[in-house]
């Protein structure tokens, strides 16, 4: 929504709801329409708007609001509850009140309807004003580059692993432990990333979880139907119950997934082979299993044309892919990470470099973090927590040499 009021200097920030508001009850739908307007129709709906401040401050808040008939809202900020009356059919600036905010934090503005009338109450934007000197306020600022979508999803975070130089790497091995309660819908815990694709586990719904393995085509497009036949990813094999298809929108290529009921609190292991076929192509094969059960399942094997490489760019990432649930936090523990060179030598990866996507890098969202805890690296994102990581930080986890995997590669399912 375009600003309904003239902006004043310095101490005013207009927070667009299209990128910063969520419907928290009931979950599952966008909070706003395509114009970025938030509509509250009944008392069963609850909403939250988020923005960050970089120091203790006093804030004065307003909303641009209108109603098809007179209505009331309950609003809570910093544990202070207010009641707001909306009685204009045109967007009007309505004062919410003044609030004392302690420290560098995310501020949550909670909204719910108090009355039981059937008329629609609409909010167009949240206006933040403050006379606190030097205050910085951060939020998803506009929809340029479809940032309302990306901002609501939240920042994606990555760990790039240090591997030995001067040798060809054929296999990547890693393990993931998702802590209990850190696995909301819309999470992708990516274990084995490489220059041409990625492999990990997802939470796709209340009752469905997947193991996902994808390889990008060398032809650059977001529409898989545009890929010439000679540059398409070819499936060479798949495990039982694995589905093969295509993907687009973030590059295009071949995709495979297994519907699998993985659970938080258990350790799962991932193995990926990257091997040139000697004919100008490279073969990518991935296996997955419950570590405690000693399980290995073939997910899929793909041939990527016009490619001659071994493993490059070994990394992991954590992302939220559901923009309606980007207000819920998630966390992953990645450990016992190894690579195997073409001579069969194992090399442990105990050092990683942290990075974040532009949603975090451009301060649209600040709720992202990474680090090392004992035997594991960790990544955390979303949830509007009050810590922010630093891109470029180097982390070192404890060695798990005593847990070096024992894999008979020639006996893996193919």
Domains and CATH numbers, the chain: 12-140 (2.60.120.260), 153-411 (no CATH)
The DSSP bridge pattern shows strands 282-290 and 267-276 to be: antiparallel
d(Cα 298, Cα 188) in Å, to the nearest integer? 20
- Report the predicted TM-score, pTM, of the whole model to 2 decimal places: 0.93
3-class state of residue 410 by DSSP: helix
Q: For residue 297, which of 204, 207, 199 has the smallest C-alpha distance?
A: 199
The pLDDT of residue 328 is: 97
Q: Return the number of other C-beta atoms located less than 10 Å from residue 44's C-beta.
A: 9
Chain centroid to Cα 315, Å, comes to 15
d(Cα 38, Cα 156) in Å, to the nearest integer? 26
* DSSP H helices in 55-157: 147-153
The pLDDT of residue 3 is: 42
81: exposed, middle or buried (C-beta count within 10 Å: 0-12, 13-18, 19+)? exposed
d(Cα 364, Cα 140) in Å, to the nearest integer? 5
d(Cα 342, Cα 275) in Å, to the nearest integer? 9
The pLDDT of residue 2 is: 41
Chain centroid to Cα 219, Å, comes to 26
Tokens 């519907």 -> residue: 259
Residue 326 in contact with residue 382, Cβ under 8 Å? yes
What are the tokens at 233?
Answer: 């990813």
267: exposed, middle or buried (C-beta count within 10 Å: 0-12, 13-18, 19+)? middle
The dihedral built from the CA positions of residue 407, 408, 413 and 414, taken in this order, carries a sign that is positive
d(Cα 348, Cα 198) in Å, to the nearest integer? 20
d(Cα 83, Cα 71) in Å, to the nearest integer? 10
pLDDT in tens, 309-340: 999 999 999 999 999 999 999 999 999 999 99
Segments of the chain scoring below 70 in pLDDT: 1-10, 246-251
Longest dimension (CA), the chain: 75
d(Cα 414, Cα 297) in Å, to the nearest integer? 9
For 136-173, the DSSP string reads: -EES----GGGHHHHHHH---EEEEEP--SSS-EEEEE
pLDDT in tens, 200-230: 999 999 999 999 999 989 888 777 778 888 8
3-class state of residue 36 by DSSP: coil
The pLDDT of residue 166 is: 94
d(Cα 2, Cα 64) in Å, to the nearest integer? 11
d(Cα 178, Cα 330) in Å, to the nearest integer? 9
What are the angstrom distances between the C-alpha of 241 and each of 193, 233, 244, 260, 269?
Answer: 23, 20, 10, 10, 19
What are the tokens at 322?
Answer: 């559901």
The pLDDT of residue 246 is: 64
What are the angstrom distances between the C-alpha of 153 and each of 147, 315, 384, 385?
Answer: 9, 21, 12, 15
């Amino acid at each position: 929504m375009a600003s309904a009021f003239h902006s004043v200097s310095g101490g005013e920030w207009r927070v667009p709801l299209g990128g910063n508001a969520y419907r928290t009850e009931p979950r599952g739908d966008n909070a706003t329409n395509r114009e970025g307007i938030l509509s509250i129709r009944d008392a069963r709906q609850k909403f939250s708007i988020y923005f960050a401040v970089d120091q203790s401050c006093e804030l004065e808040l307003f909303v641009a609001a209108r109603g098809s008939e007179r209505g009331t809202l309950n609003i809570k900020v910093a544990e202070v509850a207010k009641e707001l009356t909306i009685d204009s059919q045109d967007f009007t600036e309505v004062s919410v009140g003044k609030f004392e905010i302690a420290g560098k934090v995310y501020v949550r503005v909670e909204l719910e309807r108090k009355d039981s009338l059937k008329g629609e109450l609409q909010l167009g934007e949240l206006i933040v004003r403050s006379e606190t000197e030097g205050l910085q306020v951060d939020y998803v600022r506009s929809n340029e580059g479809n940032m309302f979508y990306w901002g609501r999803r939240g920042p994606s975070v990555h760990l790039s692993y240090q591997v030995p130089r001067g040798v060809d790497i054929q296999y990547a091995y890693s393990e993931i432990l998702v802590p209990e309660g850190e696995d909301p819908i819309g999470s992708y815990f990516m274990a084995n990333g490489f220059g041409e694709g990625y492999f990990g586990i997802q939470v796709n719904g209340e009752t469905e979880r997947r193991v996902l393995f994808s390889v990008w085509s060398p032809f650059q497009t977001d529409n898989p139907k545009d890929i010439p036949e000679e540059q398409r990813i070819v499936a060479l094999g798949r495990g039982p119950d694995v589905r093969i298809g295509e993907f687009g929108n973030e590059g295009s290529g071949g995709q495979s997934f297994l519907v699998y009921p993985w659970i938080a609190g258990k350790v799962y292991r991932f193995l990926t082979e990257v091997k040139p076929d000697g004919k100008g192509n490279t073969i990518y094969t991935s296996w997955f299993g419950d570590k405690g059960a000693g399980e290995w399942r073939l997910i899929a094997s793909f041939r990527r044309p016009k490619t001659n490489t071994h493993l490059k760019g070994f990394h992991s990432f954590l992302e939220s892919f559901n923009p309606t649930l980007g207000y819920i936090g998630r966390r992953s523990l990645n450990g016992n990470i190894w690579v195997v060179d073409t001579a069969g030598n194992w090399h442990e990866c105990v050092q990683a470099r942290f990075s974040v996507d532009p949603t975090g890098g451009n301060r649209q969202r600040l709720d992202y973090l990474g680090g090392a805890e004992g035997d594991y690296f960790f990544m955390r994102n979303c949830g509007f927590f009050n810590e922010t990581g630093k891109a470029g930080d180097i982390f070192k986890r404890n060695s798990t040499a005593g847990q070096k995997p024992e894999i008979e590669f020639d006996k893996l399912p193919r």
